Amino acid sequence: MLLQPATMTVAANANPPTFDMQRRQHGCRAPPSPLLCRMVGLSRRLLILLPVVVLVALACPSCAAPPGTPDAVPPAASARRPGEVAPEPRGSAPPPKAAAVQPDAAAIYARIERDLRVCYDVGHRTTPAMNDGRVTLVAAIEASGATGCVIPSDSTGLTQDVEDCMAARLATERFEPGPAWSVSVPVVLRGGALKLGERKADLAVLESVETIRMPDAFDTLDAIEPALMACAQSVGRGGPKSMMVAARVGADGHPQCALATSAGALPVAARDCAAGVLRNARFPAPKRGSGLVIVPLLLP
């Protein structure tokens, strides 16, 4: 059976309704090409989604950043005033401390000169003839910075009270903590005026043992001489030529402090060994107050 012409006309006109449907779907009012209609529809969708993207970015800044992007620094944290130093990050190691500086004899003398003058003025009132003399204040400084022991040595022309006063003044000085060390401060009196003297290049030999207010100490010194010489042997060749070991002895015969020093660099082992021998010795009681024992050793 053949189709009727009217039916064929409707079949032939089936495409226009499909084109109109596409125009209504993409929002095209004019009849442009289908591709242009799709682009117009896509643009309108993007305009609708743009406010949503902006709101998400403001609510979650890290969500909008791409992977691997570092967090932004807030303006308040990054802005600094001119000359302001940035704070150190937490957990960073503190900078290393500078090594403690050991003052020399001149610097120490400048710190105590006025008080040393007071010691002399007090002694000069009782001994007006005391106008010339000298003394070397030998001090051992502990690792804490405290002055552990002060021994007046190589003295002449000054009364023992003046020497003890000067030694007591130096014993009150404190220095920066660090390795233990020793220093010799020579003091010279000329015409009633005090000044810093010159340190001798070396010390005396063993025969010049000196005791102050301890005339009965030589038996004890003879007994400990082998141990002191054993300490001196550990210095070895190339070191200083002599070493001085000294102690301040209390009223009960027990050394209150002891030290060992030399004109050159003295090994720590030899220094501690010799000072320990003298510190552990037991002496007869001094005649009055405290006594001094000074033993210079000739090194190999």
Closest CA to 242 of 284, 277, 211, 274: 274
Look at residues 135, 165, 199 and tell me which one is the last residue of a structural domain. 199
Answer whether residue 95 is part of any domain.
no
Residue with tokens 């210079």, as numbered in its chain: 296
- Residue 228 pLDDT exceeds 70: yes
Mean pLDDT of 137-166: 95
Angle between helix axes 218-233 and 268-279 (nearest 10 degrees) is 160
Confidence of residue 125 (pLDDT cuts 50, 70, 90): very high
Contact 105, 144 (CB under 8 A): no
pLDDT tens digits, residue range 155-202? 999 999 999 999 999 999 999 999 999 999 999 999 999 999 987 655
pLDDT recorded at residue 225:
93
pLDDT recorded at residue 121:
97
Domain count, the chain: 2
Tell which phi-psi region holds residue 71, choosing left (phi > 0), alpha (psi between -120 and 50) or beta. Answer: beta
Per mean pLDDT, which of 34-48, 50-64, 115-129, 252-266 is the most reliable?
A: 115-129
Domain span at 111: 102-199
From residue 264, give the alpha-carbon distance in Å to each of 174, 189, 242, 245, 284: 23, 26, 9, 14, 32
pLDDT recorded at residue 86:
60
Answer whether residue 135 is part of any domain.
yes
One domain for residues 166 and 219:
no
